[in-house]
Structures are given as C-alpha cells and as structure tokens.
A and B are shown apart, each in its own frame.
Chain A
Amino acid sequence: MKAKVRLFARLSELAGTREAEVELGEGLTAGGVYQALCRRYPALSGLNGSIRYAVNGEYAEPERRVGEGDELALIPPVSGGSHAV
C-alpha cells in the first residue's frame, strides 16, 4: 500500500523534492506519514508544531488515517495573497 505525499514551499526546499511515495503500514496516520518522511528527509524534522495536513485536497487532522492511493500534503503556514498589506 502506497500513498503519495506532496511538499510545498519551505518544506519542498528542505526535502529537496516536491513529491514522495510512502509505504503505508497498518493504521498509518497523516502525522505518522510525516514522521516516516522525517526519517527519509531529516531536514523536515521538528516542524510538527507548524505544519497542517491535507488529505486529497482537504485539511485533515494529524490523526486522520491515510489509505492506499490517498494524496497527503504537508501544508506549511500559508502566506499568500497580498504582500502583508
């Protein structure tokens, strides 16, 4: 069982990739996938206080189960829109 992970902005620079595939163990959650990615990309470690998760394009809690074929995104704090006006 595999899930696709997408990384953006600072997280993609820290990991050096915008996409990764993670082998899913039994009962793996969004937060658990992040921990697995931290082992592969140690530069991502220590950010669990600031990142949010999205599963298949919708915000999700860290406890959300991730299943076969799901797309998990790691969402750093957003800063779009106008330039701090």
Chain B
Amino acid sequence: MLFEVKRAALDPQLLIDHVRKDESGAVALFSGVVRNENLGRRVLYLEYDAYPEMAESVMRGIAEEVMGRWPITDVAIQHRTGRLEIGETSLLVAVSAPHRKEAFEACHALVDRFKEVVPVWKKEVWEGGEEWIEGEAVSRSG
C-alpha cells in the first residue's frame, strides 16, 4: 500500500507497478486532472492545500474499508498540492485485483470516499477571481 501527499508531479506508472502483484489480473487506475472550466467559468489553474499527515492516515483508513468489501490485492493513492495547471494530474488511485470487476468497483469507491473525508482542498482561480471550493457547495470567499 502507498499513501502520499506531495508537491512533485505524479507518475501513474509508479503506482501501477506498486500495486501489481503476481495474483493480480487487473489494475484499475483513476487520474483526476485539472480541467479548464467549472460552473461556466474559465479556470486558469487550481491551488491545492492539504493536511498531509492526516490525509495519509485517512487514505489508509478508506483503503482498509475498501479492502474489507472487495477481494483486492493492493491499493496506492497519491495527491498533489500546490499550483496545478490545466491538464495536470491532481489525484491518482490505483487498485489491483484478481479480476477487473473488483478492481473497477473498489477504485470507484475509493475515489468517492476520498472526496468525502480526505483533508485536501482546492482553490479555483479564474480570470478576475478565486474561490475555495468546499464540498459540493461553492463558498463565497473570493
């Protein structure tokens, strides 16, 4: 297992290699990437903040939850912090399993849980303003 919050660019191949075991027939990899639009606004870049020590332990907790529900062989999660440009990868979740169904389902569940509980935040910066995006709701700090 691997759980990491880091400033440097993320490398998907590293996570794939990390989770693949000889009993794995499937590796599912999710990449969250920065897109150029949100709520009709033209996004210039995102700024991510995190509580890294807690984020890593909460990631371990959600991975253990998911390993209790699906027969998967390994999990790795990384999230970046700092300024990320359009097209850059903010989140990688890799799951290996004997078969594809468990790998897909567990990966999907991990990404959903990540967004609910892992202490990572993003600020969206667009032309003429910026705003911390909080949960599903949009805050009014900008």
A interface residues, Cβ below 8 angstroms from B: 6, 8-10, 12-14, 50, 54, 57-59, 73, 75-85
B interface residues, Cβ below 8 angstroms from A: 30-35, 38, 46, 48-51, 53-55, 57, 79, 90-91, 111, 114-123, 132-135, 137, 139, 141
A54 is contacted by which of B119, B120, B134 (Cβ under 8 Å)?
B119
Contact in complex: A78, B115 (CB < 8 Å): yes
Q: Dominant SS at the A interface?
A: loop
In the complex, what distance in Å separates the CA atom of A55 from the CA atom of B98? 38
> B122: shortest Cβ distance to chain A, in Å?
5
Chain B residue numbers with a CB within 8 Å of A12 are 49
In the complex, what distance in Å separates the CA atom of A10 from the CA atom of B142? 10
Chain B residue numbers with a CB within 8 Å of A79 are 115, 120-122, 132-135
> B139: shortest Cβ distance to chain A, in Å?
6
Contact in complex: B53, A77 (CB < 8 Å): no
> A53: shortest Cβ distance to chain B, in Å?
11
